[in-house]
Amino acid sequence: MGTERRRKLSLFDVVDDTVGKMAKSNGGFVGSNLINRWNGKPFSQRYHDILEKRKTLPVWHQKEEFLQVLKDNQTLILVGETGSGKTTQIPQFVLEAVDIESPDKRRKMMIACTQPRRVAAMSVSRRVAEEMDVNIGEEVGYSIRFEDCSSARTVLKYLTDGMLLREAMTDPLLERYKVIILDEAHERTLATDVLFGLLKEVLRNRPDMKLVVMSATLEAEKFQGYFSGAPLMKVPGRLHPVEIFYTQEPERDYLEAAIRTVVQIHKDEPPGDILVFLTGEEEIEDACRKISKEISNLGDQVGPVKAVPLYSTLPPAMQQKIFEPAPPPLKEGGQPGRKIVISTNIAETSLTIDGIVYVIDPGFAKQKVYNPRVRVESLLVSPISKASAHQRSGRAGRTQPGKCFRLYTERSFNNDLQPQTYPEILRSNLANTVLTLKKLGIDDLVHFDFMDPPAPETLMRALEVLNYLGALDDDGNLTKLGEIMSEFPLDPQMSKMLVVSPEFNCSNEILSVSAMLSVPNCFVRPREAQKAADEAKARFGHIDGDHLTLLNVYHAYKQNNEDPSWCYDNFVNHRALKAADNVRQQLVRIMARFNLKLCSTDFNSRDYYVNIRKAMLAGYFMQVAHLERTGHYLTVKDNQVVHLHPSNCLDHKPDWVIYNEYVLTSRNFIRTVTDIRGEWLVDIAPHYYDLSNFPQCEAKRVLEKLYKKREKEKEEARSQYMIGCSLVVEITSSLVSSKWCDVWTEALSCVCEWGELEHVLKKFKVKGYRKISTSELGLMMKSLGKVTTKQEVDGDGNNDGCINLQEYIKLNTKGVDFDEVMENLKDTLSIFDMDKNKFITAEKLNTEAESLREECSLEYRRMIDDINKYDNNNDHTITMSINNNNTSIIIYS
C-alpha cells in the first residue's frame, strides 16, 4: 500500500474554512456553487457570465498572494494600474476571506471602500452589486453627501472619503468596520489625507482592524514610508501600446481644438471610442452639443455618434450611459458608430471605460486653490501634472493599441508640467477640516500626523475664521455653537448661518437657501434659447440679490408640485431642484436633533427679507465687498478689487454686498451676491469689524461714520431715558399700591432699548393717564436687568461717593439679554389682561401682585433678595466698603 501524499495547506484552505463559517452564519449553503450566500438565492446566469470576465482581470491572478499578505499584516499598500480591477475585486476578495461577525457575534461588521468622488462611489457600487448578484442598497451599498443607499443588511459599502470622515465624528474607532480600503489614495484629497492620520491612530487602538491603501501611481512608496514600512504589492495593468501626439504650437482655445480633433478622428481614424477630458459641467455639455451637431452635418459620409457627458453631479442613470456600446451603423454595410465620452478628470483613474481607443487631453483640470493671506479660495482651471497626463494617455490602451492626442506641445509637457499634483491639503481653506478635527478631539493640530503638513499660516487662518464665527473660543476650544456647526455637512459659514437663523425668525427660508447653494446651478441657459432663459430667470429675480432669487425659485418649484414640465418651461434644472429638496430634508433632520426652531417671519411683514439677509450676514460677514467711488468693489479687510459676476440678479449696485463665491479668471468676480446694509455689519459682527486693526480704505471711513452715528444715537437715547426716569417712577406709583412701588420701580428702571423709548415716553406725558396698554408697558419694562451688589468705583460718575439712580442704571444695563427677558416679561404681563383687551388696570395689578412676584423671572427675584440682604436699615441704600472707604449706593431715588 503506497504512502498517501498530503497536499500542502494553502491560504485558500483557510479562506474556504472562513467562507464556510460565514455561509453558515449568513444562512447560505456550504459546498454549493448555485446559492448566493449573501442573500440565500440561486445565482443568476448573468452572475456566471460576469464571473468569467472577472477571472480575466490582472488582479484576479494575484488574489491568493494578496490575501496572504493581508492575513500577515495589519496594513497593506497596493499599487495597481487603472483597469487592473482593484476597485471592484479587492473589496470582494476581502469580503470572502474576512470574518465580518462582531466579537460578540450579535451583528455583522462591514468592509468600507472609500472613493474621492461621488460618481465613482455610486457607479462602482452598482457594478459590484451586479457582480455579487445582489441588490444595490442591500448587501452592497454606497454613501455620499446627502444620500445614503445602504441598509442593515449591507456588508460592503462604497463611500466618499468625506463621508467616512463624518462617520468618525460619531464613531471615533470606526467600530462598524472590519477592513477599510482607501482607494485612489494617490489623488490626495483633503479628506483622504486626514483619514491617513486618523486611521493610523485607530489601528493602534484596534488590532482587529485592517487597512488597505490602493493607489494607481508609483508614489505609493511615500505611503509605505508613512505607514511604517507596510508591505507594498504591485498589480500590473492590462495595457497595450499607446502612441502620443503633441501639437506643434500651443492652442489658443483648447475647447474648440478638442472638438475639432474629435471630428477629425471620427472622419479619418479606424473604429474605436473616444475619451475627451474637459474641466467642468458647462464645458462638457457645450462640447456634447457641438460635437453632435458638427458630426450630424457631415451626413452619410461618417457613422453615427453618441456623445455622453460624465461629471460629478450627473444622476446615476446618466452616468451608466458611459458603459453602453457605440451606436450601430445607420444602414447595413454603413460606417460604424462611435461613442464619445466627454469627462472631467474623474475618468483618469476612478472609472474604467472599455472600448476607448482615442484620448484627447487638452492638459487642463479645475483645481481648488487658496491664498490664506487674502483668504480667497476658488476653483481655477490649471495645467495638469505629468502623472495625470500619464494616467490620461493610459486610458487609450485598455483593449487594443491606442492613440493619445495632447493639445499642448512636447516642450510644455517636459518643462511646464509639475511631476505630481499638489495634495489638496496644501492648496485649500482648512476651516472645515480644523472644525472636524476639533470635533474628533484633536486639539494639537501642529503635531497632527499629516503626510504633508499644511503651512502654519493656513492653519492659523482656519483657526481665526472659526474663532470669528464663534465655533472656537479664544483658547481654541470647541464651543457649543461649534459642536452644532460641525454636525452639518456644510462649510462653516453656511453652518453658522443656519444655526443662528432661528434668532432672526427665518430658519425655514435659510434652510431653503442653504439647500439651493449646496447643489449645482439650477438655471439652464441653452445656446439656442438664451434670451428666453434670461427672461425666465428675470421672473424669479429679487432686486436684493441672488440668494433671495434662489429662494424664489425653490418656493415656485414647491408651489408647482415639483413638476418637471414646469421646470422645463421655466429653464430651471429639475434634477438640481430635486437634489436641493433632498438636501433640505436632511438639514431639517439635523436641526431637529439639536432642537433648533423652524420658523418664518410673516411674508407680508417688511422684515421678511430683511431678517433673511441679516441671518445670511451672520454667517458670511467675512465675505463682504464695498462699492468704491471708482465704481468697482473692494473686498472688506483684504482689499481685493472684484467685480459683480454678470449672472447676478441685482438691479442696482449696492454699497455693500455679501458674496458666496470668489471666481478667479482674467477678472476677479464675486458670484451669488446679496445687498446688505452697512449698519448691520456694526450690529451683527462688531468683533470682526474692529476698526483699530482695519486697513485704510474707503470702507473703513464709512464704517467709522456708522460707528459714530450709532454712538450718537445711543447718547441721545440715554439722555431722553434719564429725563424719563422720574416720570416712570411717578406713573408706576399711580398704577400700583405703595407696597409694590419699589419692586416695579426697579423693574422699570432697567429699560434699555433706547431707540424705542422716545415715542413711548411721549404717551405717558398726558396728565392723569390711568390706562397703559400691555405693548406700551412691555416696551417700558424692556428688561428685568441683572443686578449685582458690588459696583466698580468708576461707576461713580460724578465722584460724590454715591452711585445715584442714573449711574446705577447705566452701569447695570450692560450685557443683559434684553430680548430673552422681554419674551419672559410679555408672558408674565399677559396673565393680567383678563378681558383680553390688551390693557392692564391698577386694580388688576394690585389684585394679582403676589402672583406677579412669583411669575417674575428667577433673575429678578434674586436681584430683590440681594438688595434686601444688604439694605440692613431699610432705607433703600446699600453701604459697602470699596478700597477701605465706605461708599453708599442709592438704589431708589
Task: Taking residues 582-608, report their average pLDDT.
Answer: 95
Residue 716 falls within a domain, yes or no? yes
Looking at the 3D structure of the chain, how many domains does it have? 4
**What cell does 597 get?**
426652531
CATH number at residue 34: 3.40.50.300
Same domain, 193 and 49: yes
Instruction: Give the lowest-confidence range in 356-365, 593-602, 725-734.
Output: 725-734
The pLDDT of residue 651: 85
Question: Where is the domain boundary, 487, 503, 528?
Answer: 487
**More confident site: 691 or 756:** 691
* Angstrom distance (rounded) from CA 163 to CA 2: 61
Same domain, 230 and 260: no
The pLDDT of residue 520: 86
Q: Residue 63's pLDDT band (boundaries 50, 70, 90)?
A: very high
Question: Where is the domain boundary, 465, 487, 509?
Answer: 487
Q: Residue 17's pLDDT band (boundaries 50, 70, 90)?
A: very low
DSSP class per residue in 204-244: HH-TT-EEEEEESSTTHHHHHHHTTS--EEEE------EEE
Same domain, 422 and 449: no
C-beta of residue 275 within 8 angstroms of C-beta of residue 347: yes
Same domain, 289 and 347: yes
**More confident site: 780 or 245:** 245
Task: Taking residues 680-707, report their average pLDDT.
Answer: 87
Residue 47 falls within a domain, yes or no? yes
DSSP one-letter code for 262: H
Residue 448 falls within a domain, yes or no? yes
Name the one residue in this structure whose C-alpha cell is 414646469: 566
Q: Residue 694's pLDDT band (boundaries 50, 70, 90)?
A: confident
User: Could you write out the three-class secondary structure of 750-787?
Assistant: CCCCHHHHHHHHHHCCCCCCCCEEHHHHHHHCCCCCCC
Same domain, 349 and 335: yes
The pLDDT of residue 891: 37
The pLDDT of residue 107: 73
Task: Taking residues 417-427, report their average pLDDT.
Answer: 91
Task: Report the mean per-residue pLDDT for the chain.
Answer: 80
Residue 99: CB atoms within 10 A of its CB come to 14
Residue 643 falls within a domain, yes or no? no
**What cell does 258 get?**
478638442
The pLDDT of residue 800: 46
pLDDT in tens, 173-195: 999 999 999 999 988 999 999 99
Nearest to 838 by CA among 782, 756, 779, 775: 775
- Across the beta sheet with 140-144, the strand order is 147-149, 140-144, 156-160, 110-115, 177-182, 210-215, 75-80, 232-235
Structural domain that includes position 175: 11-235
**What cell does 531 get?**
434670451
Residue 466 falls within a domain, yes or no? yes
Instruction: Give the lowest-confidence range in 82-86, 399-403, 583-587, 693-697.
Output: 693-697
pLDDT at 887 over 70: no
Nearest to 556 by CA among 541, 534, 575, 535: 541
DSSP class per residue in 856-875: S-HHHHHHHHHHHHH-TTSS
Same domain, 201 and 334: no
Same domain, 378 and 442: no
pLDDT in tens, 544-577: 999 999 999 999 999 999 999 999 999 999 989 9
The pLDDT of residue 856: 45
Residue 667 falls within a domain, yes or no? no
C-beta of residue 615 within 8 angstroms of C-beta of residue 504: yes
**More confident site: 48 or 752:** 48
C-beta of residue 97 within 8 angstroms of C-beta of residue 15: yes
pLDDT at 779 over 60: no
Same domain, 389 and 251: yes
Q: Residue 279's pLDDT band (boundaries 50, 70, 90)?
A: very high
Burial class (CB in 10 A: 0-12, 13-18, 19+), 4: exposed
Instruction: Give the lowest-confidence range in 625-639, 686-700, 841-855.
Output: 841-855
Question: Where is the domain boundary, 447, 466, 487?
Answer: 487
pLDDT in tens, 146-176: 889 999 999 999 999 999 999 999 999 999 9
Residue 541 falls within a domain, yes or no? no
Residue 850: alpha-carbon gap to chain centroid: 52
Task: Taking residues 802-811, report their average pLDDT.
Answer: 44
* Angstrom distance (rounded) from CA 711 to CA 421: 53
The pLDDT of residue 105: 63
Same domain, 406 and 367: yes
To the question of pTM greater than 0.85 for the whole model, the response is no
Same domain, 53 and 170: yes
Same domain, 826 and 743: yes
Same domain, 263 and 185: no
Residue 339 falls within a domain, yes or no? yes
The pLDDT of residue 713: 75
